[in-house]
Amino acid sequence: MITPRSALKFDLFAEASRKGKIDKVGDPLQVIAQHIDFAALAALVDAFIERSDGRKGGRPAYPTEVMVRVLVLKRLYNLSDEQMEYQLLDRMSYQRFCLLQDSMNVPDRNTIWRFGERIGVDGAMALLQGVDEQLHRHGYIARGGQAIDATLIPAPRQHISKDDRRKLDEGQQPDWSDAKRRQKNIDATHTKKHGKSYFGYKLSVSVDHKHGFIRGVATGTASEHDGHHFDEVLDQRNTGKEVNADKAYPSAQRQEMLAALGFKDGIQRKAQKGKPLSEG
């Protein structure tokens, strides 16, 4: 009896071989790693966080640079903390980008969430500005116009008693320990989109058409209207004048503002009876 040969070949160096093939094909995450100085970004973020001296015990913290790389990936692919943890366990390219390819453990969902809470909005903005400055030094200035959009960022749903919720609504602080207070997210809000409920925040961004990089960012709660931070993220340094956005953004006031600033209004409009939309 003749047994067909299998295409499967087993080798102790299979993982190294796959890494070589990925490099040959081209790993886009390694291209990012070559152009962005993450050590410099980590130094910016360190100014916004406090490191434990280790006297209280517990697991040692991951290096700031590792966590900054994790946050960059999380935002780049719009992943939740749970999804980010899974991808770090599963994907070789993510492990290598985050300097975790030889680590026995990776940051879990709680570690990722806590790091984001520790750096706060100011730390996140410093991180974005640091990336933008490096892109400009490499010649990646904002070109070709821009697209403005908002995305929902989920947050863990909170279990707060009716009495504590009443106190918060009245501007009072519940009788929580410091540890419990750190675990409670009282800023996120609820909203509905396409019939689905969400709890968390809203991230508004401006992306340049030429390179596809985020040039402006603003944060708000999930219940805020998509267009709330339009003016804040509009990038006036972009060399292109076209501004694109979806149907949540048009308004007469916004149209006048863009015209006054010399921008071309590329915001989508909803069709109206008797006023067909153009093909452009």
Kindly state whether residues 239 and 153 are assigned to the same domain.
Answer: yes
Kindly state whether residues 80 and 150 are assigned to the same domain.
Answer: no
Q: Cβ neighbours of residue 228 under 8 Å, at least 6 residues apart?
A: 202, 204, 220
Tell me, yes or no, whether 213 lies in a domain: yes
Tell me, yes or no, whether 278 lies in a domain: no
**86: region left, alpha or beta (phi > 0 left; psi from -120 to 50 alpha):** alpha
Kindly state whether residues 78 and 150 are assigned to the same domain.
Answer: no
Kindly state whether residues 232 and 221 are assigned to the same domain.
Answer: yes
Kindly state whether residues 180 and 99 are assigned to the same domain.
Answer: no
Kindly state whether residues 92 and 175 are assigned to the same domain.
Answer: no
Kindly state whether residues 202 and 108 are assigned to the same domain.
Answer: no
Range of the domain at 110: 15-51+61-140
Kindly state whether residues 173 and 262 are assigned to the same domain.
Answer: yes
Tell me, yes or no, whether 5 lies in a domain: no
Residue 78 · residue 152 · CB < 8 Å: no
Kindly state whether residues 188 and 265 are assigned to the same domain.
Answer: yes
Kindly state whether residues 149 and 120 are assigned to the same domain.
Answer: no
Residue with tokens 């403005």: 148
The overall longest dimension of the chain from CA atoms, in Å, is 82
d(CA 75, CA 79): 7
Tally of residues, the chain: 280
Residue 183 CB neighbours (<10 A): 14
Tell me, yes or no, whether 254 lies in a domain: yes
For the chain, the domain total comes to: 2
Kindly state whether residues 89 and 29 are assigned to the same domain.
Answer: yes
Reported as a single tens digit per residue, the pLDDT across 101-152 is 989 999 999 999 889 888 887 888 888 889 888 988 888 899 999 999 998 8
Nearest to 74 by CA among 107, 26, 51, 49: 107
Strand 196-208 versus strand 214-221 pairing type? antiparallel
Tell me, yes or no, whether 245 lies in a domain: yes
Question: One digit per residue, pLDDT tens: the chain, 280 residues?
Answer: 555 666 666 666 667 777 777 777 778 888 888 889 999 999 999 988 865 555 555 556 899 999 999 999 998 887 889 999 999 999 999 999 999 998 999 999 999 988 988 888 788 888 888 988 898 888 889 999 999 999 888 777 778 888 888 887 778 888 888 777 777 777 788 888 888 888 888 989 999 999 888 888 888 888 999 899 999 999 999 999 999 999 999 999 999 999 999 999 999 988 766 666 555 5
Domain boundary among 140, 170, 191: 140
